[in-house]
């Protein structure tokens, strides 16, 4: 019986055919080209991101599951956590939580997410953030809990 290269590959290497490889290279997350994220501020434990809201597809204001608010909060909270770590250290997100205060509102204008580290321990980090519209109205609040991976020497 003749074995192929795929059958001889170690079990930990993903088996991907050429068609799937091309699709993965060409595929993109719907709406991300229109997101235009801008990092406005970054300092240890603090990050601010903004974007201009647009109507995306048939679902107004939606990007993926949580919409632009979720995406902005994810970026702001993750950047705030990363900015608080030592060089070479990483983190793994244990929990990301968001409450959309106006779930049926169509977002317009500039959306701004502010993320801050609320507590940083030796192995864990807790960050909180908020999303505001251009009028200063709060659209969403969120939090992120992460475990810190020590810096690689």
Model confidence over 53-92: pLDDT tens digits?
765 444 544 545 567 788 889 999 999 999 988 888 889 9
Q: Is the pTM of this model over 0.75?
A: no
pLDDT at 76: 93
Q: Is 67 left (phi over 0), alpha (psi -120 to 50) or beta?
A: left
> Domains in the chain, ordered, with CATH?
35-149 (3.10.129.10)
CA distance 22 to 7: 21
CA distance 14 to 126: 34
pLDDT at 142: 95
The pLDDT mean for the chain works out to 75
Going by pLDDT thresholds of 50, 70 and 90, the confidence category of residue 151 is low
pLDDT at 18: 52
Q: What tens digit of pLDDT does each residue of 101-114 get? A: 877 677 778 889 99
Query: Which residues face 141 on adjacent strands?
Result: 99, 130
């Amino acid at each position: 019986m003749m074995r192929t290269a795929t059958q001889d590959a170690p079990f930990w290497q993903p088996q991907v055919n050429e068609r799937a490889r091309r699709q993965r290279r060409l595929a993109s997350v719907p709406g991300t080209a229109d997101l235009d994220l801008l990092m406005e501020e970054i300092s240890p434990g603090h990050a601010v991101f903004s974007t201009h809201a647009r109507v995306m597809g048939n679902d107004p204001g939606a990007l993926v599951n949580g919409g632009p608010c979720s995406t902005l909060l994810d970026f702001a909270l993750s950047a705030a956590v990363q900015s608080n770590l030592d060089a070479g250290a990483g983190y793994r997100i244990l929990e990301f939580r968001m409450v959309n205060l106006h779930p049926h509102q169509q977002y317009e204008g500039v959306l701004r997410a502010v993320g801050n580290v609320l507590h940083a321990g030796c192995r864990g980090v807790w960050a909180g953030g908020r999303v505001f519209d251009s009028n200063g109205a709060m659209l969403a609040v969120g939090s992120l809990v992460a475990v810190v991976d020590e810096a690689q020497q």
